[in-house]
Amino acid sequence: MVPAKLNVGETTGLGLRFFGSKVKRMNTEAVVKPSQSTVQAETRGMSFPARYARFGTFHLDLEREEVFRNGSRVRVPGKVYQVLVTLLERPGDIVSREALRTRLWPADTHVNFEANVNTTVNKLRQVLGDSNDQSIYVQTIPRRGYSFIAKVEAFRVVESG
């Protein structure tokens, strides 16, 4: 369960640390104000502890489902974005291939799940500039799944400089 309110320095149940209520945004949008005092981005049945997430040179607006690298918007296909959010919700944990399959495709979908999960994760690696050989974001855990290995920061509000 995600706490109703995050305090500076508090670690959430998802292993993320909240670093403050206001953060400078890199050349993207104007001031963004929270809709409520407790902002919780809902992402297809799962929840993230804040509206914004940052890792490496990337940041996400989970409410608008947008990804930015160095302040520039990056186009991320829907299923690739869902895999990214699924991994970010559980940084450092192993997310099974079955959990990804369940998140990406309804039970009555008939596709080659193994190939499609592999393809989707490889597309995510391309978007992030990551590789399976020298992972800095997504690590493959053989025969088990994937793990997001970079530090993830969660934020409620982002202001432009």
User: Is 9 domain-assigned?
Assistant: no
Residue 123's CATH number? 1.10.10.10
Given a cut of 60, whether residue 37 has pLDDT beyond it is no
Is residue 53 in a domain? yes
Residue 92 in tokens: 């450092």
Residue 39's Cβ-side half-sphere holds a number of Cα atoms within 13 Å equal to 21
**Pick from 89, 92, 91, 76: nearest CA to 125:** 76
DSSP 8-state assignment for residue 9: T
Regarding predicted confidence, which is higher, 60 or 132?
Answer: 60
What pLDDT was estimated at residue 145?
94
- 94-119: pLDDT as tens digits: 999 989 988 887 777 666 666 788 89
> Cα separation of 85 and 48, whole Å?
8
Vertex 158 angle, CA 35 and 18, to 5°: 90
pTM score: 0.69
**Residue 114: other Cβ atoms inside 10 A:** 10
pLDDT at 3 over 60: no
For residue 84, tell me if it sits in a domain.
yes
Look at the chain and report how many structural domains it folds into: 1
Domain that holds residue 59: 17-160
pLDDT higher than 50, residue 80: yes
Q: 94 lies in a domain?
A: yes
Q: What is the arithmetic mean of pLDDT over 38-65?
A: 72
Q: Is residue 41 part of a domain?
A: yes
Taking the mean position of all CA atoms in its chain, how far away is CA 161? 24
Whether residue 57 lies inside any domain: the answer is yes
Residue 24 lies in a domain: yes
**CB atoms < 10 A from the CB of 82, how many?**
20
CA 100 to chain centre: 13
In a domain, 135, yes or no: yes
Written as six digits, the tokens of 6 are 């995050």
* Contact by Cβ (8 Å): 137, 148: yes
Q: Directed axis angle between helix 78-89 and helix 97-104, to 10°?
A: 130
